[in-house]
Chains A and B, each alone.
Chain A
Amino acid sequence: MEPGGEDHGGRRSVHVNPDGGIMAKRILSLFRNLFRKRDMEQALDEELRSTLEALTQEKIEQGLSQAVARREALIEIGGIEQVKEGVRAVRAGHFVEELARDIRYALRQLCRNRSFTAVATLTLALGIGGTTAIFSVVNGILIQPLPYSHPARLVEVGLDLPGINQFNWPLSPPEYVTFREQSRTFQDIGLYYTGFGGNLYSANVTGFGRPEHVPALGVTDGVLPILEVTPLLGRSFTRADDEPGSPDTVIITYGYWRTKFGGDQSAIGKTIDIDGKPSSIIGVLPQRFRFLDMTDLGILLPLKTQSLRGYNYFAVARLKPGVTLDESNADVARMLRMQVERFPEAATFFKEAQIRPNLQPLKQYLIGDIGKVLWVLMGGIGLVLLIACANVASLVLVRVEARQQELAIRAALGGSPGRIAGGLLLESLVLAVIGGALGLLFAYGGLRVLIVLAPSDLPRLDEIGIDGPVLLFTVGVTIVAGLLFGSMPAFRYAGVRAGTGLRETGRSVSASRKRHRARNALVVVQVGLALVLLVSSGLMIRTFQALIHVQPGFTAPAEIETFHVHFPPEMIKAPERLLRLDHAIQDNIAAIPGVSSADFSGAVPMDAGAESDPVLVKDHMLQGQLPPARRSFWVSPGFFSTMGIPVVAGRDLTWNDILSKRPVAIVSENFAREYWQNPPDALGKQIGGSPRDWRQIVGVVGNVHDDGTSQEAPATVYWPITDADVFLDSPAFALRSTRAGTESLMNELRQAVSSVDSDLPLYQVHTLDYYYSKSMARTSFTLVMLALAGGMALLLGIVGLYGVIAYSVSQRTREIGIRMALGAQKRDVLKLVVKGGMGLTVVGVGVGVAGALGLTRFLSSLLYGVKPTDPLTFVVVSLTLTGIALLACYVPARRATKADPILALRYE
Chain B
Amino acid sequence: MGQKRTDLLRGTLDLLVLKALSLEPLHGVGISRRITQITKGAFQVSFGSLFPVLHRMEESGWVEAEWRSSDNNRRAKYYRLTSAGRAQLKDEERQWNQVVKIMAAAVQST
List residues of chain A with CB under 8 Å of any chain B CB.
3-9, 11-12, 15, 17, 19, 22, 25, 29, 43, 46-48, 50-51, 53-55, 57-58, 76-79, 82-83, 86-87, 89-91, 94, 98, 413-414
Cβ–Cβ contact B52 & A90, under 8 A: yes
Cβ–Cβ contact B60 & A50, under 8 A: no
Could you say which of A6, A7, A46, A79 contacts B11, with CB atoms under 8 Å apart?
A7
Cβ–Cβ contact B74 & A51, under 8 A: no
User: Given A78-B47, A94-B56, is A4 in contact with B74 using a C-beta cutoff of 8 Å?
Assistant: no
A496 and B32 alpha carbons, distance in the complex (Å): 40
The 10 closest A-B pairs by CB, nearest first: A4-B49, A5-B53, A86-B52, A5-B52, A90-B52, A54-B29, A3-B52, A47-B77, A50-B76, A90-B56
A89 and B49 alpha carbons, distance in the complex (Å): 12
A462 and B28 alpha carbons, distance in the complex (Å): 67
B residues in contact with A11, CB < 8 Å: 11, 14
Tell me if B103 is interfacial: C-beta within 8 Å of chain A.
no
Using CB atoms, name the residue of chain A closest to B53: A5
A residues in contact with B56, CB < 8 Å: 5, 8-9, 90, 94
Tell me if B72 is interfacial: C-beta within 8 Å of chain A.
yes
User: Given A50-B27, A413-B84, is A87 in contact with B52 using a C-beta cutoff of 8 Å?
Assistant: yes
Cβ–Cβ contact A54 & B74, under 8 A: yes
A54 and B47 alpha carbons, distance in the complex (Å): 13
**Interchain residue pairs with CB less than 8 A apart (24):** A4-B13, A4-B48, A5-B49, A5-B52, A8-B11, A9-B56, A25-B59, A43-B77, A46-B77, A47-B28, A47-B77, A50-B75, A50-B77, A51-B47, A54-B27, A54-B28, A54-B76, A58-B29, A76-B1, A79-B48, A83-B47, A86-B52, A90-B59, A91-B55
Could you say which of B48, B49, B74 contacts A57, with CB atoms under 8 Å apart?
B74
Using CB atoms, name the residue of chain B closest to A1: B48
Min CB–CB distance A420 → chain B (angstroms): 13
Cβ–Cβ contact B10 & A7, under 8 A: yes
A6 and B61 alpha carbons, distance in the complex (Å): 17
B residues in contact with A47, CB < 8 Å: 28, 51, 76-77
Tell me if B22 is interfacial: C-beta within 8 Å of chain A.
no
A residues in contact with B9, CB < 8 Å: 4
Main secondary structure of the interface of B (DSSP, over half): helix
Using CB atoms, name the residue of chain B closest to A9: B56
A residues in contact with B76, CB < 8 Å: 47, 50-51, 54
User: Given A54-B27, A54-B70, A90-B56, is A15 in contact with B88 using a C-beta cutoff of 8 Å?
Assistant: yes
Using CB atoms, name the residue of chain B closest to A98: B59
Cβ–Cβ contact A82 & B13, under 8 A: no
How many pairs of A and B residues are in contact by the CB < 8 Å rule?
109
Using CB atoms, name the residue of chain B closest to A6: B52
A sample of 14 more A-B contacts (CB under 8 A), given A55-B29, A413-B83, is A3-B52, A7-B11, A9-B56, A17-B84, A47-B76, A51-B29, A54-B70, A54-B76, A82-B48, A83-B48, A86-B48, A87-B52, A413-B84, A414-B82
Min CB–CB distance B23 → chain A (angstroms): 19
B residues in contact with A83, CB < 8 Å: 47-48, 51
Proximity string of chain B (66-92) to chain A, C-beta cutoff 8 Å, 1 when within and 0 when not: 000010101111000011100010011
Cβ–Cβ contact A414 & B88, under 8 A: no
Cβ–Cβ contact A87 & B51, under 8 A: yes
Among A48, A77, A89, A413, residue most surrounded by chain B Cβ atoms (within 10 Å): A77
Cβ–Cβ contact A90 & B55, under 8 A: yes
Tell me if B98 is interfacial: C-beta within 8 Å of chain A.
no
A residues in contact with B53, CB < 8 Å: 4-5, 8, 90
Could you say which of A12, A15, A77 contacts B47, with CB atoms under 8 Å apart?
A77
B residues in contact with A414, CB < 8 Å: 61, 82-84
Q: How large is the interface on B (under 10, 10 to 19, 20 to 34, 35 or more residues)?
A: 35 or more
Min CB–CB distance B69 → chain A (angstroms): 11
Using CB atoms, name the residue of chain B closest to A32: B59
Cβ–Cβ contact B72 & A57, under 8 A: yes
A77 and B45 alpha carbons, distance in the complex (Å): 10
Min CB–CB distance A859 → chain B (angstroms): 54
Min CB–CB distance B65 → chain A (angstroms): 8
A residues in contact with B28, CB < 8 Å: 47, 51, 54
Min CB–CB distance A81 → chain B (angstroms): 10
A residues in contact with B29, CB < 8 Å: 51, 54-55, 58
Using CB atoms, name the residue of chain B closest to A21: B61
Cβ–Cβ contact B13 & A8, under 8 A: yes
Min CB–CB distance B53 → chain A (angstroms): 4
B residues in contact with A5, CB < 8 Å: 13-14, 49-50, 52-53, 56
Among B61, B74, B76, B82, residue most surrounded by chain A Cβ atoms (within 10 Å): B61
A residues in contact with B46, CB < 8 Å: 4, 78
B residues in contact with A413, CB < 8 Å: 83-84
B residues in contact with A48, CB < 8 Å: 51
Min CB–CB distance B26 → chain A (angstroms): 11
Min CB–CB distance B102 → chain A (angstroms): 15
A25 and B46 alpha carbons, distance in the complex (Å): 29
Could you say which of B1, B74, B92 contacts A50, with CB atoms under 8 Å apart?
B74
A76 and B92 alpha carbons, distance in the complex (Å): 28
Among A8, A89, A94, residue most surrounded by chain B Cβ atoms (within 10 Å): A8
B residues in contact with A9, CB < 8 Å: 56
Min CB–CB distance B77 → chain A (angstroms): 5
Among B51, B52, B53, B72, residue most surrounded by chain A Cβ atoms (within 10 Å): B52
B residues in contact with A55, CB < 8 Å: 29
Using CB atoms, name the residue of chain B closest to A4: B49
User: Given A50-B27, A54-B70, is A91 in contact with B48 using a C-beta cutoff of 8 Å?
Assistant: no
Min CB–CB distance A410 → chain B (angstroms): 11
Cβ–Cβ contact A86 & B51, under 8 A: yes
Could you say which of B27, B72, B84 contacts A19, with CB atoms under 8 Å apart?
B84
A43 and B60 alpha carbons, distance in the complex (Å): 18
B residues in contact with A6, CB < 8 Å: 52
A4 and B6 alpha carbons, distance in the complex (Å): 8
A79 and B49 alpha carbons, distance in the complex (Å): 12
Min CB–CB distance B10 → chain A (angstroms): 6
B residues in contact with A29, CB < 8 Å: 59
Using CB atoms, name the residue of chain A closest to B76: A50
Proximity string of chain B (1-16) to chain A, C-beta cutoff 8 Å, 1 when within and 0 when not: 1000010011101100
B residues in contact with A94, CB < 8 Å: 56, 59
Min CB–CB distance B35 → chain A (angstroms): 13
A793 and B104 alpha carbons, distance in the complex (Å): 70
A residues in contact with B47, CB < 8 Å: 51, 76-78, 83
A22 and B27 alpha carbons, distance in the complex (Å): 25
B residues in contact with A51, CB < 8 Å: 27-29, 47, 76
A residues in contact with B14, CB < 8 Å: 5, 8, 11
Cβ–Cβ contact B55 & A87, under 8 A: yes
A413 and B61 alpha carbons, distance in the complex (Å): 12
